């Protein structure tokens, strides 16, 4: 105590601020650990609805989420550009979860006919109790490059897949959720947009991923 009281006031103030910052970080970490590993799973079908629409479901995160949603008892509408890959995932989901209904819809989010294609998808799911939309389909650089090295085609595809496609998909599905007064929209983002202070070698990609995060907040 004598040592502490001997410290100048400014040092004690800095120590108090440091303690508050560390405590806040510890609380946030504890809450994240609870939410990620300890919190009981929500009854998704009862809470949100009977069906989930998943874009980009044939690989990676989208594929993993499709299987998790099927395991939770939701039917799936799998949306992607490859008929063969969609059929393969559909077959595997049905084999693992025989009770899960699975539909597929072929849609290339990079196509110029994006608006018409999404409208056709919206018509095909009309009447379904869609409770979850996973906006996973997206586009990235083939390799790191500076902003001035990003060509026109890559820029167009980044904006179309990461921003326009997500916006149109949300606009297609959200009205039904509003009408039923329940639903969840999951936008798959990137640490390039939320963790790093800047990402100079993936600038356009990071910017489009920030759009995903910003769009999600006002419609929560």
State pLDDT tens for residues 136-149. 999 999 999 999 99
Nearest alpha carbon to residue 114 among 54, 71, 161, 72 = 161
Nearest alpha carbon to residue 95 among 78, 77, 74, 70 = 70
Q: Does residue 108 sit in helix, strand or coil?
A: coil
State the residue range of the domain holding 186: 42-216
Q: Does residue 100 sit in helix, strand or coil?
A: coil
Same domain membership, residue 207 and residue 135: yes
Using the 8-state DSSP alphabet, how is residue 99 labeled?
T
Same domain membership, residue 102 and residue 9: no
Rounded mean pLDDT, 184-194? 85
Distance CA 105, CA 83 (A): 8
- Partners of 135 in the β-ladder: 187
Same domain membership, residue 130 and residue 22: no
Distance CA 129, CA 123 (A): 13
Same domain membership, residue 76 and residue 19: no
CATH number at residue 123: 3.40.50.720
**Helix pair 165-180, 203-216: axis angle to 10 deg:** 10
Which pLDDT score, from 0 to 100, does residue 51 have?
98
Rounded mean pLDDT, 62-70? 97
Same domain membership, residue 80 and residue 28: no
Distance CA 92, CA 63 (A): 11
Residue 178 has pLDDT above 90, yes or no: yes
Same domain membership, residue 67 and residue 163: yes
- Partners of 197 in the β-ladder: none
Q: Which has the minimum average pLDDT: 54-63, 110-119, 193-202?
A: 193-202
Which pLDDT score, from 0 to 100, does residue 3 have?
53
φ, ψ of residue 184 to 5 degrees: the values are -145, 135
Same domain membership, residue 179 and residue 134: yes
The count of structural domains within the chain is 2
Tens-digit pLDDT profile for residues 71-127: 999 999 999 999 999 999 999 999 999 989 999 999 999 999 999 999 999 999 999
Which pLDDT score, from 0 to 100, does residue 194 have?
73
Residue entry with tokens 């998790």: 68
Using the 8-state DSSP alphabet, how is residue 128 labeled?
S
Share of the chain above pLDDT 70, in %: 97
Rounded mean pLDDT, 55-59? 96
Distance CA 204, CA 135 (A): 19
Residue 2 has pLDDT above 60, yes or no: no
Distance CA 198, CA 69 (A): 33
**Helix pair 83-96, 60-71: axis angle to 10 deg:** 30
Q: Which residues are annotated as catalytic?
A: 205
Same domain membership, residue 95 and residue 72: yes
Q: Reading across the β-sheet that carries 184-187, which strands appear in turn?
A: 102-106, 75-80, 51-55, 130-135, 184-187
Structure tokens given for 171: 């606009």
């Amino acid at each position: 105590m004598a040592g502490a009281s001997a410290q100048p006031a400014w040092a004690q103030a800095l120590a108090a601020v440091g303690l508050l910052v560390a405590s806040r970080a510890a609380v946030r970490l504890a809450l994240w650990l609870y939410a990620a590993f300890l919190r009981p799973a929500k009854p998704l079908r009862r809470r949100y609805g009977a069906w989930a629409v998943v874009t980009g479901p044939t690989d990676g995160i989208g594929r993993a989420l499709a299987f998790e949603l099927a395991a939770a008892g939701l039917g799936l509408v799998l949306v992607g550009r490859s008929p063969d890959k969609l059929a393969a995932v559909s077959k595997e989901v049905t084999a693992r979860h025989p009770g899960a209904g699975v539909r597929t819809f072929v849609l290339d989010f990079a196509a110029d006919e994006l608006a018409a294609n999404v409208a056709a998808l919206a018509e095909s799911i009309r009447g379904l109790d869609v409770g979850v939309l996973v906006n996973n389909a997206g586009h990235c650089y083939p390799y790191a490059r500076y902003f001035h090295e990003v060509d026109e085609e890559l820029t167009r595809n980044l904006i179309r897949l990461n921003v326009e496609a997500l916006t149109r998909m949300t606009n297609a599905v959200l009205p039904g959720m509003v009408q039923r007064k329940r639903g969840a929209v999951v936008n798959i983002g990137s640490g390039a947009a939320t963790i790093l202070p800047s990402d100079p070698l993936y600038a356009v990609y990071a910017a489009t991923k920030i759009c995903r995060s910003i769009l999600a907040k006002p419609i929560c």
